Amino acid sequence: MSQTRNVDLRKEVFNKPQYEQVIDTSFSQLGVTSISASAEDQISIEEFFGYYNSLFYDIPPTGETNSHEFLVKESGQYINFDQIAEEILALQQEIDGLRKDLLTEQIKVVELETGTTINTGSLGLGIDTNIPNSAGGNANLSTSNNSPTNNSSY
């Protein structure tokens, strides 16, 4: 009733050099790629901007991700844009003040050369200074008064 059957087992043993030639020890079937293979899959900066330019109008203007707004915010944080913008604003305000100072001084020169007072009230320069006249006193030049007054008191 019961039959027995002999099975011959063969065991093949490899030494180290033979083993490396016969057995594939890479993990290619598990989906793990080597560093060189993953580097080949990355796009270059040149390719990125090529894609960006071709997709520019397809990218939504606003949104938390995948939008122009997102790109601007992320890039702005990377380059410290807020800090740079604050510095630019401070410099623009300083330039504005210096331009007003220069204009004020140029107006004073014209007033001294011509002997007339220029009404600059609408310019918002706030000219109200005492300029020494040739007689040793002060000529009070004011935007609210159209005629110079001689003020000899110090």
Give the tens place of pLDDT for each residue, 31-67. 666 666 666 778 889 999 999 999 999 999 999 999 9
- Provide mean pLDDT across the span 110-136: 71
Indicate whether 48 and 99 sit together in one domain: no
Domain assignment present for 141: yes
Lowest-pLDDT range, 22-26, 38-42, 91-95, 132-136?
A: 132-136
pTM for this model (two decimals): 0.39
Q: Are residues 69 and 97 in the same domain?
A: no
- Greatest CA span in the chain, whole angstroms? 145
Q: How much is the pLDDT for 10?
A: 85
- The answer on 140 and 108 residing in a single domain is yes
| pLDDT at res. 139 | 43
Mean pLDDT of the chain: 77
- Distance, CA of 17 to CA of 38 (rounded, Å): 29
| pLDDT value, residue 114 | 93
Q: Mean of the pLDDT values across residues 95-100?
A: 95
What pLDDT sits at residue 29?
60
Same domain for 100 and 131, yes or no, is: yes
Inform me whether the pLDDT recorded for 102 exceeds 90: yes
User: Domain for residue 107, yes or no?
Assistant: yes
* Number of domains the chain contains: 2
Residues 98, 52 share a domain: no
- Shared domain for 129 and 73, answered yes or no, is no
Give the structural domain span for 68. 43-79
Task: Please check the confidence at residue 143 and state whether its pLDDT lies above 60.
Answer: no
Residues 98 and 136 in one domain: yes
Residue 92 to residue 71: CA distance in whole angstroms: 27
- Sign for the CA dihedral angle at 23, 25, 31, 35 comes to negative
Q: Mark whether 58 and 113 lie in a shared domain.
A: no
Is there a single domain that holds both residue 122 and residue 92? yes
Structure tokens belonging to residue 75: 């890039």
Tokens of 85: 């913008």
